[in-house]
Structure 1
């Protein structure tokens, strides 16, 4: 299964991209939005890593660790989507011309 390592690396690269983008911007709302996007990428990294670990090893201990990673990654992804939606609507409310 080559798809999981590719998605893991892609999510890790996007996480680093959004964290660097936070440092480049001065606006607090944009920083919070980029932080929410990076949270989604981090959550997908953890989630995909947990799935890949169970598929690759297939043991009982990797199942338990994978379930923990999937749970924690899922929480991060859901929270990131909620924050992204909130900050996107706040940006539209404060900047109606854009």
Structure 2
């Protein structure tokens, strides 16, 4: 199963990328948008990490910890998608010419 480690590594790299991008920009709206994108990457990291750990160990304790991490990762993903949608609409509202 090479797909889960690939997704985990990619989401971790994108999380770090968006956190560094927050530091490079001065616009608060863009910073909030990048923070929402990084929240999506963090949520996908935790979500797929939980699935990968259960598939790797297949024990009862990894199932319980995996369920907790799945819920936390899903919550991060959900909140991140809502924030991205909100900040994208705000940017379109403030910049109608683009």
TM-score (norm 2): 0.99
Structure 2: any 5+ residue segments left out of the alignment?
A: none
Determine the structure 1 residue equivalent to 2:88.
88
Matches of 2:60 and 2:34, distance apart in 1: 37
Q: Secondary structure at the match of 1:35?
A: helix
Q: How many residue pairs get matched? A: 98
Post-superposition offset of 1:84: 0.2
Post-superposition offset of 1:47: 0.2
Matches of 2:41 and 2:68, distance apart in 1: 17
Instruction: Give the ranges of 4+ consecutive aligned residues of structure 1 lying more than 4 Å apart after TM superposition.
Output: none
Q: Secondary structure at the match of 2:97?
A: coil
Alignment pair present for 1:73 and 2:87: no
After TM superposition, list the pairs within 5 Å mapping 1:1-98 onto structure 2: 1-98=1-98
Q: Secondary structure at the match of 1:26?
A: coil
Post-superposition offset of 1:36: 0.1
